Amino acid sequence: MPPSFFAKPAGPGILAGLTSRLSISLATPLSLEEKRPNFAFLRRIRDHPKFTEALLGHSPEEDKYPAIVTNEGDTLTKLVSEWADEWLEDTHGNADIEKRLEGMVEEVVWSNAIWFGVGGWHARGDTGRTFNADFFMCVLLFLDGISILNSLNSAHLVTSAIFLLTTVVRSKQAPNPPVPLSSRLTLLKAYLATCAGWYISRGNAAVPIKDFYYATNDRLTAPPAVPVPPDAPRKPLDAEGGPWQRIIANAVAHPDEHLCKAVRSLSTFATRWGGRPAGYYAGGGKDGLEGREVLDGTLFVRAASLMLDRLGWAHESGKSLGHWDHDGFHEESDDGKGVSSLVYL
């Protein structure tokens, strides 16, 4: 977490203006314009000249994240701070900031799901697997290379994003008083910077949303569990339980506890945002992430279903179990053989 996230600079900025904003009562009449995520941050990370595969592909895999923090931490911090400033630029009080914070958390959660789901599908390679279920993007983040095995100091991406819904977003159902607003903003910025750093270190591959949606439309209906007659009807997403019923049953039966946690997070996100229609994220200007206009609440069930394809439908007979992938989300190299970056755990 960079010290600048705690600093209170004299000039304009998220923390500089925070004191005056927080001094206004929650009861102050508001006229805050609605603002929705446009995922421009993902586009900036993908297109930044300092985060290209050519610059990142020469160090050992376990050294990439520490190298990014050391060499380009200031660049990443600046991008995150600009993202936060854009979200909060027209806020005037606690209620304004709390409302915008909900959208900021929504963007971070969806970004993690896009990186894991769309990135994993795009980087599946040509070996026949339907999905690159990257262990690091979904479950484990090394904070200090291989030394994590000794320190047990780990964080999570898809699985950890669930904590944002109770720790960063104010909730009336929370048993304890909320963390101070300025601290929650700092936490969210640090979390986003960490997640982005890890996606960059895993290859920073493109996330072609339109192609992903076109290729995974079959995930909106669940094929019947095995064994059943071949002509058994598929279960549509809007049916009772829908595909989630099958996904959750198989996750519970799976011997890998990380899969259960991932499905728990993705299903929770689907409960909260599964009703988002296509076009909901289409605005925000031309600088937003391409293809966002097709994003809808089915993102989470698509990713979860692909993940089960890779790790195995453990509850169903005749289905062999798979494993997490460790080769990263890398684009193809000039020789067409891709980039190998196996990490031994």
Bridge partner residues of 221 (DSSP): 236
DSSP state, 50? G
Query: Which residue type sits at 252?
Result: V
Token pair of 191 as six digits = 């979390």
Bridge partners of residue 236, in order along the sequence: 221
Q: Which residues contact 124 (CB under 8 A, 6 or more apart)?
A: 130, 131, 132
**CA nearest 18: which of 101, 80, 74?**
101
Report pLDDT digits (tens) over 130-183. Answer: 899 888 777 654 333 333 333 322 236 888 999 999 899 987 776 666 789 999
Q: What's the pLDDT at 288?
A: 95
Burial class of residue 253 in the structure, from the number of CB atoms within 10 Å of its CB (0-12 exposed, 13-18 middle, 19+ buried)? middle
More confident of the two residues 226 and 283: 283
Mean pLDDT of the chain: 78
Output the pLDDT for position 125: 87
Instruction: Please report the pLDDT score of residue 16 as a whole number.
Output: 41
117, 209 contact by CB (below 8 A) = no
Residue 299 or 123, more confident: 299
Residue 236 confidence (pLDDT): 67
- Tokens linked to 69: 């923090």
Percent of residues, the chain, with pLDDT higher than 90: 42
Q: What are the pLDDT digits (tens) for 52-100?
A: 877 766 555 556 788 888 888 999 999 999 999 999 999 988 889 999 9
pLDDT tops 50 at residue 28: no
Span 273-297, average pLDDT: 95
